[in-house]
Amino acid sequence: MPELPDISIYIEALERKVLGQTLVGVRVRGPNLVRSWDPALQAAFGKRVCELRRLGKRIVFGFEGALFLVLHLMIAGRLRWRKPGVKIAGRGGLAAFDFAPGSLLLTEASSHKRASLHLVQGEAALAPFERGGLELFEATPSQFAATLTRENRTLKRALTDPRILSGVGNAYSDEILHRAGLSPLQRTRQLDQATLQRLFEACLEILTRFTEQLRAEVGDGFPDKVTAFREDMAVHGRYGKPCPECSSPVQRIRYASNECNYCPVCQTDGKLLKDRSLSRLLKGDWPRTLEELEELRGV
Ligand SMILES: [Zn+2]
């Protein structure tokens, strides 16, 4: 799922491509993509894009007349910048947003089409898309500590719950926990102030580092290779591969149709935890799927 670094880089690229441009039209292929009816999508046609912003893991296109197009890519949704009027090809093609200089192609490489698009009128209509998660780059260490300990969650759940933190998902939470040297199963209320501080710093460091790396890779182009699995990640998606800090093989816990990766030496005092009991523990702290977690409303 595109998370804060990926969404930030999409937004920077979209600012270069479509800010100030007029939306000529939207060609929708995916039957479940558009989730709002009033105003109709056509209301944005002929309108100029006057801002782009991130709302949690969503991308918001602001049009003149206070119309907002809210796009959630979910797990497999991706954006591509193509020549004007590009054909929406293949089963993954969901929609094309046509502008004079080019077309923004939305694809979803999954048989379950979860990506969603809403058009809403007026700033207040964006409120239902707010999950209430803390914006890490606007937070103080004490706000972070208070937010994280509001509920006694496993760290893996707390970091990825959009009601707790904004913009962090499965991939970067693995990296953050590895950086902080903390077990994904540790409960948030067991952490002392120094550990919470270390975790906060790890959040900022990991998100900043990957945002900067993505920015350098994309240059003034468009992010065509957004993926949750990167060679330069320490543990996420690297089951069985050596930890870059200590070389021991990265482990995994499977839960909610997903997996969490960690290094036992760096994060769990060298304990190799049993996958089955762990996944039971994590499942108890989890909705059935990542999609359900993503749709949880603010507290
Ligand atoms: Zn390690």
pLDDT-derived band of residue 142, with 50, 70 and 90 as boundaries? very high
Q: Report how far residue 108's alpha carbon sits from residue 139's, in angstroms, rounded to the nearest whole number.
A: 33
- Per-residue pLDDT at 90: 86
- Ligand 1 centroid–CA 230 distance in Å is 17
Token pair of 277, please? 């009991």
Strands (E), 64-208: 67-72, 77-82, 93-99, 103-108, 116-121
Whether the upstream peptide bond of residue 39 has omega within 30° of 0, thus cis, is: yes
What does pTM read for this prediction? 0.92
- Per-residue pLDDT at 275: 63
The percentage of residues in the chain with a pLDDT greater than 70, rounded to a whole number, is 93
Q: Report how far residue 261's alpha carbon sits from residue 253's, in angstroms, rounded to the nearest whole number.
A: 7
- Ligand 1 centroid–CA 90 distance in Å is 41
Question: Is 70 exceeded by the pLDDT of residue 277?
Answer: no
Task: Tell me what the mean pLDDT of segment 127-133 comes to.
Answer: 92
CB within 8 Å of 216: residues ≥ 6 apart = none
For residue 257, count CB atoms less than 10 angstroms from its CB and return exposed for 0-12, middle for 13-18, buried for 19 or more: exposed
CB within 8 Å of 138: residues ≥ 6 apart = none
Q: Report how far residue 51's alpha carbon sits from residue 61's, in angstroms, rounded to the nearest whole number.
A: 6
pLDDT-derived band of residue 199, with 50, 70 and 90 as boundaries? very high
Question: Is 50 exceeded by the pLDDT of residue 299?
Answer: no
- Ligand 1 centroid–CA 235 distance in Å is 9
- Ligand 1 centroid–CA 193 distance in Å is 24
- Ligand 1 centroid–CA 262 distance in Å is 8
- Ligand 1 centroid–CA 279 distance in Å is 21
CATH number of 136-294: 1.10.8.50
Q: 77 and 123 in contact (C-beta within 8 Å)?
A: no
- Ligand 1 centroid–CA 161 distance in Å is 25
- Ligand 1 centroid–CA 244 distance in Å is 7
Question: Is 70 exceeded by the pLDDT of residue 82?
Answer: yes
Question: Is 50 exceeded by the pLDDT of residue 276?
Answer: yes
- Per-residue pLDDT at 258: 79
pLDDT-derived band of residue 30, with 50, 70 and 90 as boundaries? confident
Question: Is 80 exceeded by the pLDDT of residue 293?
Answer: no
Instruction: Select from 3.40.50.2300, 1.20.120.80, 3.10.20.600, 3.20.190.10 the CATH code of 4-129.
Output: 3.20.190.10
Average of per-residue pLDDT values in the chain? 92
**Structure confidence by residue, pLDDT tens digits, 200-258:** 999 999 999 999 999 999 999 999 888 888 999 999 999 999 999 999 999 988 876 77
Token pair of 4, please? 């804060």
- Ligand 1 centroid–CA 181 distance in Å is 9
- Ligand 1 centroid–CA 267 distance in Å is 7
- Ligand 1 centroid–CA 250 distance in Å is 7
- Per-residue pLDDT at 228: 84
- Ligand 1 centroid–CA 25 distance in Å is 50
DSSP β-bridge partners for residue 259: 254
CA quadruple 80, 83, 88, 91: dihedral sign: negative
- The stretches of 86-192 forming alpha helices (DSSP H) are 141-148, 155-160, 170-180
Residue extents of the structural domains in the chain? 4-129, 136-294
Q: Report how far residue 34's alpha carbon sits from residue 294's, in angstroms, rounded to the nearest whole number.
A: 18
pLDDT-derived band of residue 286, with 50, 70 and 90 as boundaries? low
- Per-residue pLDDT at 270: 80
Alpha carbons within 13 angstroms on the beta-carbon side of residue 68 total 22
